[in-house]
Amino acid sequence: MNNTIFDFIGGNTGDWKVIKMTTLKGDSLPKVTHIDKLSSSLINRFEGIWSLKGVVSNLRYTEKSDKDKLVAIQEDLGRSKATYAALIPIRKNEVWWNLAQDDRRKIMENQSRHTHIGMEYLPAIARKLFHSRDIEEPFDFLTWFEFSPEDEPAFNELLSKLRQTEEWKFVDREIDIRLKRV
């Protein structure tokens, strides 16, 4: 069985040094200097100052034509040149979660073009989504990005575009944690 469960542990040590931590919406998280991203189990780890857990899942909105494009051009995490990263935990409000699948998809794709915006920045920005909502965690998603220092302006542009979308009106907690590989 593949590892699907990961812990993001904020504390005083770890593989990723925190450069900047910005709370965009909702409650912040306690300040930490480092983050470790560890393959985990469902057992809670009492390490660090805080710990966020997420699970890898199947793509829940992406349709066949986009999925094929994504698979063809996206790159994996862990590229040696990708020394910068960002951990952005996100929560969406109850209005979002009470929508039906087709309504959520309409907002994500027809109105917000979520997949297409992300695709413009491939393969430079590698990305992985961890789901947290269904495992009683404080956030719904932990989004993780890796890129090289020269692609940081492009990454900021990507975020700026996403945050202006219709979809982002449903986000009620968001913290942007910028990291550099130790």
Residue 111 contacts a second copy per CB under 8 A: no
Q: CA torsion 63→68→70→75, rounded to 10°?
A: 150
Residue 73 contacts a second copy per CB under 8 A: no
Member of 100, 110, 153, 160 binding a second copy (CB under 8 A) = 100
Nearer to a second copy, 27 or 134 (CB): 134
Catalytic residue among 45, 104, 113, 127: 127
Member of 12, 27, 31, 58 binding a second copy (CB under 8 A) = 58
Nearer to a second copy, 142 or 179 (CB): 142
Q: Decide if 163 is catalytic.
A: no
Nearer to a second copy, 34 or 48 (CB): 48
Characterize 134-151 residue by residue with b for buried, 16 or more Cβ atoms within 10 angstroms of its Cβ, and e for exposed: eeebebbbbbbbbbbeeb
Residue 136 contacts a second copy per CB under 8 A: yes
- Burial group, residue 73, by CB count within 10 angstroms (0-12, 13-18, 19+): exposed
Stretch that binds a second copy, among 16-24, 25-33, 38-46, 160-168 (CB under 8 A): 38-46
Member of 18, 38, 49, 66 binding a second copy (CB under 8 A) = 66
Member of 61, 95, 120, 181 binding a second copy (CB under 8 A) = 61
Stretch that binds a second copy, among 20-28, 74-82, 126-134, 161-169 (CB under 8 A): 126-134
Q: How far is CA 48 from CA 9, 19, 40, 52, in A?
A: 6, 17, 14, 11
In the complex, which residues of this chain contact a second copy (CB under 8 A)?
1, 3-5, 41-44, 53, 55-64, 66-67, 97, 99-103, 105, 131, 133-136
Q: Which residues are catalytic?
A: 127
